[in-house]
Amino acid sequence: MSAVSPKLRLHLFGGHAHELNALSLALAMARHDGAHLRILHIAETPFLPEISGLGAYGAGAEANLHEPDHVQLAQDAAAYVRAYCLHEKVPLLRPGDSPVAGQASAEFRNVSGTPATVVMQQALSCDLVVSDWNHQPDEDLSTTRSVLFGARRPIMLLPRQPHHPLSVSGVTRVFAFAWDGSRTAAQALRAAVPSMQNASEVYILHAMTGRAALDTVAAADVLAYLRSHGISATFVQCDRGGRSVGQTIVAEAEARSVGLLALGAYSRGHLAERVFGGVTRHVLRHARLPLLLAH
């Protein structure tokens, strides 16, 4: 049984040169899968004091409230999109045109508002969100959490300089999935099936916590589920050796030259992970490879 790949995808693009690798890969993946890519540039609406008299920015007034550099950034983003769509041979639709099922295409949207709010609204009508990621300690996670918790959509994070990048076609040949038997892991597993079907090697990584057996779903059941989708995978019981679960998963993935690592994000909630740390937080900070997260 073949899973349906995400056909309508949302790509977050700020218009900066360091995001071009992610834009190129997002377009390549759309071309490979015959998907439509909605490229979203968000221009943050500046704060206006009450004395401005505009209230909630007035009717359509926000288009004129941005600083000149923000306007230039939006223009740069549109120019990059036109150039990269041409390079990746993905048709860029004109405003008002509709995508054709099964044919790769792209559109560019320039929307004003708060990033987390705009992304959540736009993601509701998409199958998958794709974004650039730089692994910095001060990286703003609000947009990622908005996708996962608000829109309940999976998100693919593409690092600017991955150790083991995706192929030029946007397809990974070596795929790894971090399995812990949780509901969020099961949700992520379903979201990861289309990517697994394109890979030649698939590893299911389970970091042992002192018990050899899985807590909920046996390894054989996970492998049987994947076989029903035409995926042959290898289940790996990872010896932690004094490492945390996050450290173990990242080390095992990098040792296997994994091109895409998927996991269920924030299985105990993002607030608990912020206070106590957790697997998702460690992976986001230390994994130098593309990530696929779902909650």
Q: Give the least confident one: 81-85, 167-171, 280-284.
A: 167-171
- Domain 174-294 coded CATH 3.40.50.620: yes
Q: For the segment 146-161, what is each residue's pLDDT rounded down to a tens digit? A: 899 988 999 999 888 7
pLDDT at position 98, please?
A: 93
The four Cα atoms 165, 167, 170, 171 give a dihedral, to 10 degrees, of -100
Confidence of residue 139 (pLDDT cuts 50, 70, 90): low
Q: Tell me the Ramachandran region of residue 253: left when phi exceeds 0, alpha when psi lies from -120 to 50, beta otherwise.
A: alpha
pLDDT at position 88, please?
A: 95
pLDDT > 70 fraction of the chain, expressed in percent and rounded: 79
Q: For the segment 257-290, what is each residue's pLDDT rounded down to a tens digit? A: 999 999 999 876 544 445 334 899 899 988 888 9
**Do 8-159 and 174-294 have matching folds?**
yes
Of residues 58 and 154, more confidently modeled: 154
Q: For the segment 28-45, what is each residue's pLDDT rounded down to a tens digit? A: 999 999 999 999 999 876
DSSP bridge partners of 177? 204, 262
pLDDT at position 48, please?
A: 44
State in Å, rounded, how far the first CA of the chain is from the last one: 24
Superfamily of domain 8-159: HUPs (3.40.50.620)
Residue 119 burial (CB count, 10 A):
27
Contact 259, 174 (CB under 8 A): yes
Q: Is the pLDDT of residue 243 over 60?
A: yes
Domain ranges within the chain, ordered by starting residue: 8-159, 174-294
Q: Which of 258, 294, 255 is nearest to 175 (CA)?
A: 258
Q: State the average pLDDT over residues 78-104.
A: 95
pLDDT at position 58, please?
A: 40
pLDDT > 90 fraction of the chain, expressed in percent and rounded: 58
pLDDT at position 53, please?
A: 41
pLDDT at position 170, please?
A: 73
Contact 208, 238 (CB under 8 A): yes
pLDDT at position 38, please?
A: 97
pLDDT at position 164, please?
A: 60
> Which residues, 6 or more positions from 64, have their beta carbon under 8 angstroms from its beta carbon?
none
Confidence of residue 255 (pLDDT cuts 50, 70, 90): very high
Of residues 136 and 271, more confidently modeled: 136
Each residue of 67-102: b (16+ CB within 10 Å) or e? eeebeebbeebbebbeebbeebebbbbeeeeebeee
pLDDT at position 141, please?
A: 81
Q: Which of 147, 155, 60, 76 is nearest to 112 (CA)?
A: 60
pLDDT at position 196, please?
A: 95
pLDDT at position 262, please?
A: 96
Q: State the average pLDDT over residues 235-245.
A: 90
Please give the mean pLDDT across all residues of the chain: 84
Q: Give the least confident one: 222-226, 247-251, 277-281.
A: 277-281
52/211 Cα distance (integer angstroms)? 63
